Every structure is written in structure tokens, then in C-alpha cells.
Amino acid sequence: MKTGTSFFYCLGQGFKGIKRNRLFFVASAATIAACIFMIGLFFAVVYNLNHMLKEAEQSICVTIFFDEELSESEIQKIGGDIANWSEVSRVEYTSATEAWEKFKEEYFANNPELADGFADDNPLANSASYDIFLKDISTQRSVVARLETTEGIRQVNRSEITADVLSDVGRIVGIVSIVLIGVLLAVSIFLITNTIITGITVRKEEIKIMKYVGATDFFVKSPFVFEGIITGLIGAIIPLVVLFFIYRWAMNFMVTEFSMITGTLSVLPLWDVFSILIPGALLIGAGIGFIGSIIATGKHIKV
């Protein structure tokens, strides 16, 4: 039999196997759908949470102040060197004049005449500073230690507690994600394996006849593999559709009901999430079906 013909024959047999075992197919597809729904839902939440954590990290900075005797050019040179450190994403410079102007706007907004007494004397003359933003908040300790030993820097201010909390949250989310997804995948593979074993049991006589007439290992096992993959793909498509509408509703709900929060921490756009979720879910569904069917045929079909 030609390769193309064999492929379509095995594919057709896979669909026939599904038709024969409708009840088991529905149970397996529903279980896979539930597992992938949970994985997809968890992925969307974790992906958004990581995005928000990254946004929060980007707003946290280390602020440095310089020795009084340093000139403007020396301060700029130190800032330029720090900007080239591998851990640093960007630096923002605030001169003494800019610091005083900002201070006046914040503290003398209602009584601007009080600031007139400092017209010829900047009380923040030695307050030139750099805000240093990091690529990864977990590197803050090492960066601070390096800054504290840099010549010309007299003071280093950092938000150590906030940085540690964000770092710990990110780590915990990652560990929980791996464990939960692993458990869900294991459950799905177990269920699809049992479904394929049931199909093999029902077709035991047919398999014996195929073996007697010289059918190859591939030819006998392929219909069950196709059956598993098809079941997995169908089980993946259903939750994708449901998750699409849930995520779209959640986005609209967040924008309308929590506009103050979304102004500072944004929710990822629909396509940013589903451009990863769609191929990922289909691959997981097909993979669950493939692995489950390979396990089942390997144990229960001895050709």
C-alpha cells in the first residue's frame, strides 16, 4: 500500500475508532478540554501577572547622590559608566537645579512666595542624582553593593523590601505554574491512555486478523495514534474558544470597572496572549493524545 494511501487509511480508521467508542471519546476529550482550559486559564493569569511584575520592577529604581566636590562633568561621567553596566536598563539624571524646581512645585505649590527667599540660593545645590533602573530586580543587591564602592558616590537609596517581595512573588508563581501544569498533563495522558486501551480491547479480534495477514507494527498502531491525536486536538479547540470569550470579557471588565488600576498596571492585549496560547494548546492537546496512544499501543499491542 502506498504511503499516501496508508496515511489516509489510518486517519480514517482513527475517526472510525472515535465513532465506535463515542462515550470514551467524549469523556477523554472533555477531560483534556478541562485540563487545557485550566492550563490556558492559569497561563493567561500568570502571563499577565508576570507582565505586571515586570512593569512594577521597571518603576523601581536605585537612586545615587554624589560627593559635594564633584563637578558636573565628573557626575555625568560616573552616570555614563553606570549606564553601560550589564544589569542596568536605563538611567535618568536629575540636576541640582531640576531637583529644586521639582521640590518647589511639590512643597510650595500653594504658597509660591515662600520659595522667593531662596531665589539666589539653591538649598539643594548638592543633590544632583541618578535614578538607576535595572533589567532584573533580583540583581539589585549586587548592583547596590557595587555602587557603594564606586568612588564619588556618597549615598545609595534603594527599595530593598519591595525588590525582594517582587522577586519572591515571581519565583513562587514560576514554581506553582510548573507543578500545576505537570499534574494536569499527567492526568490528561493517563485518561487518554485508558481510552486508547479500551479501543484496543474492542478491536482485539480485528487486530489479530491484521497481524495474521502480515500487517506491520506501524500499520496496526497508527489508527490508535491518530485517534489519540484527533481526540487531543478536539479537546484543545473547545477550551480555546471558551477562553477567548472569557479573556475578552475580562479585559473589558478590567478596563471599565478597574480603570484606576489598569492605568498603572496594564492587561496584556488579546492577541499577545492567544498568539502563544493557540499553538501551545494545540501542541499540548496533540502531544497528550500522541503520548497516551503510544503508551497504550506499546503495552497492549504486541505485533
pLDDT, tens digit (0-9, with 9 covering 90-100), for 58-77:
677 888 888 877 888 888 88
**pLDDT recorded at residue 288:** 83
129-134 sheet: strands from edge to edge: 88-94, 129-134, 61-66, 153-157
Q: How far is CA 79 from the centre of its chain?
A: 33
- Greater confidence, 162 or 238? 238
| Average pLDDT estimate for 173-187 | 78
Instruction: Identify the helix (H) or strand (E) that includes residue 93.
Output: strand 88-94
Inform me whether the pLDDT recorded for 287 exceeds 80.
Answer: yes
d(CA 232, CA 289): 5
d(CA 273, CA 49): 12
Name the least confident of 11-15, 183-187, 250-254.
11-15
Average pLDDT taken over every residue of the chain: 75
Name the least confident of 15-19, 103-107, 158-162, 266-270.
103-107
- Greater confidence, 37 or 46? 37
pTM: 0.61
d(CA 155, CA 50): 31
**pLDDT recorded at residue 279:** 92
| Average pLDDT estimate for 230-245 | 89
Residue intervals of the chain classified under CATH 3.30.70.3040 are: 61-158
Torsion-angle region of residue 101: left (phi > 0), alpha (psi -120 to 50) or beta?
Answer: alpha
Residue 202 — very low, low, confident or very high, per pLDDT cuts 50/70/90?
low
Torsion-angle region of residue 214: left (phi > 0), alpha (psi -120 to 50) or beta?
Answer: left
- Greater confidence, 130 or 256? 130
Inform me whether the pLDDT recorded for 118 exceeds 60.
Answer: no
Judged on CB neighbours under 10 Å (0-12, 13-18, 19+), 36 is: buried
- Greater confidence, 169 or 131? 131
What pLDDT digit, counting tens, does each position of 1-32 carry?
445 556 665 666 666 766 666 676 777 788 78
Give the class (CATH, top level) of 61-158: alpha beta
Name the least confident of 168-172, 225-229, 246-250, 264-268.
264-268
| Average pLDDT estimate for 208-236 | 74
- Beta-carbon contacts of 14 under 8 Å, excluding residues fewer than 6 positions away, are 222, 223, 224, 225, 226, 227, 229, 230
